[in-house]
Amino acid sequence: MLPLESKARVPLTAVSPLLKVMSLEEFAGSGLPIGKMALDLRDAPEEVISTSLLDIPWGALLPPDGTVWPESLPWIKFEGDTRIARPGDVIELDPIRQRVAVRYRRGDNGNVLFATERCNSYCLMCSQPPRDVQDNWRVRQLFDLIELIDPTEPSLAISGGEPTLLGEGLVDVVRKCADILPCTHLHILSNGRLRDPGLHAKFDGAHPNLSWGIPLYGDHYGLHDYVVQSEGAFAETLRGIYALHAARQRIEIRVVLVRPTFERLAQLARFIGRNLPFVEHVALMGVEPIGFAKAHHRDLWADPADYAAQLEAAVEVLHSGGISVSLYNLPLCTIDRSLWRYAAQSISTWKNDYLPACSTCAVKDQCGGFFSWVTPAWTSRAVTPIKDA
C-alpha cells in the first residue's frame, strides 16, 4: 500500500499547486505547459542534468537522492517512501504545511475526482463523513486536475460527499471530462437524491461513457431511510433513479452488506429485478471499516460467514433475472466457491492490503484482500489460507 500524502520539502515559491510528474522521456512529447510539470530526475543519469535544463521554468523538480540544490530552484524532496509519486502522477503541493498529496496515480484502480465534502445523507457506515462547508471552489480545481490526467486513463470515479450538490458545477465537470478524457469511463457515486428536479436531463449526452453508482439498502422505505439516516430518502432515491434512466443514464445499484441490509438481501434483489430492471449492474459490497462505521460496529458488523445463504440467494435472483452482479470487498475465503466468479478485486490500490494468513494462500493473486485499516473486530472468522486453487 502506498499512501496518498507525504511530508516533503516543498518550495514556498511554487506557482501552480497541481503538477504532472514528468520523466525526461515523456517531457519531449508532452504538450503541457512547462509550469505545470514536475520534472522527475530521480533516476536520470548525472550527465544529462545540466544548468540549462534546471534553468527552464519548471513547476517543480524532483532531484536524485542525495542531491542538494540551491534554494532558488523549485525542488521537492519526499520524506519516507519516495515511490509515492512517479511519472504520470498528478501531485498537489502544499507549501504552508510542507506536504505533497497525490491527486491522480497512473495505473491505480481507484482514481477519484473528489467533488465535495457535503452530503444530504448521513449513512451509518459512511467512510467519508460529510462536512457542511462551502466548497464549490473544487469545480475549478477539478478542471485543472482533469487537464493533467492521462488521456488513456480507463476509468475515473466522481465522488464525495454527494456530487450532485454541486448542481451545474457537476455538469460542467462531466463536460470538461468529455473534452479532455472522452474515452475514460466516468462513474458518479451518488445517493440519487437530486435536489434540482431538472438536473438529471443535463447529463443526457454530457459524456460518451458516463454511468452512476447509487446505493439502495432495502426493499422498504423504513430500512433504507434508517441506514442513510434521512427520512424520505428511499422515495427520493427511487425518483432520482427513474429520472436518470429517463435521461438515458447507465445505472449501477450498490448495496453495502451491513446487518440491516443482509437480512432482507434476497427481497431487495427481487425488488430491483421487478422495479428497476433497467439497471446494468448490482454491486454487493463488504463494509469499509472507517469513518462512521467504526462508531456503529455493534449495529453494523455482520460476518460474511453468517450471511452466506442470503448472499447466494441474492446473487441467484439477480443473475437469473439477467442483471449483472459483482461482489466487492469480500475476500475469497469468506464466500462460497460458487460465488468466486462474481468476486472483484475492488479495493483501491492505495488502501488495499492482505493479512498474515494470506501469505500462504493459493489464490492470493486473484483475491481482493482487505482494507488496510481492517482490525480483528472487522475480520471474518472464515479467513484462512486456501490451499488449492
Query: How confident is the model over 128-140, as pLDDT tens digits?
Result: 999 999 999 999 9
- Give all strands (DSSP E) within the chain, no chain letters: 5-9, 18-22, 37-40, 60-62, 77-78, 90-94, 99-104, 112-114, 155-159, 185-189, 210-215, 250-256, 281-285, 324-328, 352-353, 370-371
The cell 457535503 sits on which residue?
Answer: 118
C-alpha 217/C-alpha 215 separation (Å) is 6
Which residues, in sequence order, are CB contacts of 286 under 8 Å at separation 6+?
256, 257, 304, 327, 328, 329, 330
- The amino acid that residue 234 corresponds to is F
Phi, psi dihedrals of residue 270, rounded to the nearest 5°: -65, -35
SS3 170: helix
The β-bridge partners of 114 are: 159
- Give all strands (DSSP E) within 129-236, no chain letters: 155-159, 185-189, 210-215
Sign of CA dihedral 297, 302, 303, 304: negative
- The H or E element spanning position 26 is helix 24-27
- Residues, the chain: 389
What residue spans define the domains of the chain? 5-104, 112-348
Confidence of residue 188 (pLDDT cuts 50, 70, 90): very high
| Tens of pLDDT, residues 246-265 | 999 999 999 999 999 999 99
SS3 4: coil
Residue 325 CA, distance from chain mean position: 19
Sign of CA dihedral 53, 57, 62, 66: positive
Is the bond leading into 369 cis (omega within 30 degrees of zero)? no
pTM over 0.85: yes
Ranges 64-78, 163-177, 288-302: which has the least confidence: 64-78
Q: CB 69: neighbour CB atoms within 10 A?
A: 13
Confidence of residue 323 (pLDDT cuts 50, 70, 90): very high
pLDDT value of residue 3: 87
Cell triple for residue 377? Answer: 473486530
Sign of CA dihedral 200, 155, 216, 372: negative
Q: Let me know: does 330 contact 357? Beta carbons within 8 Å.
A: no
**Sheet containing strand 77-78, strands side by side:** 60-62, 37-40, 18-22, 90-94, 99-104, 5-9, 77-78
CA distances from 183 to 9, 29, 117, 209, 348 (A): 36, 20, 27, 7, 21
pLDDT value of residue 151: 96
The CATH superfamily holding the domain 112-348 is Aldolase class I (3.20.20.70)
| Tens of pLDDT, residues 48-93 | 999 999 999 999 999 998 888 898 899 999 998 888 999 999 999 9
pLDDT value of residue 141: 97
Four-CA torsion 105, 125, 247, 203, nearest 10 degrees: -40
Share of the chain above pLDDT 90, in %: 90
Share of the chain above pLDDT 70, in %: 100
Confidence of residue 196 (pLDDT cuts 50, 70, 90): confident
pLDDT value of residue 14: 81
Burial class (CB in 10 A: 0-12, 13-18, 19+), 354: middle
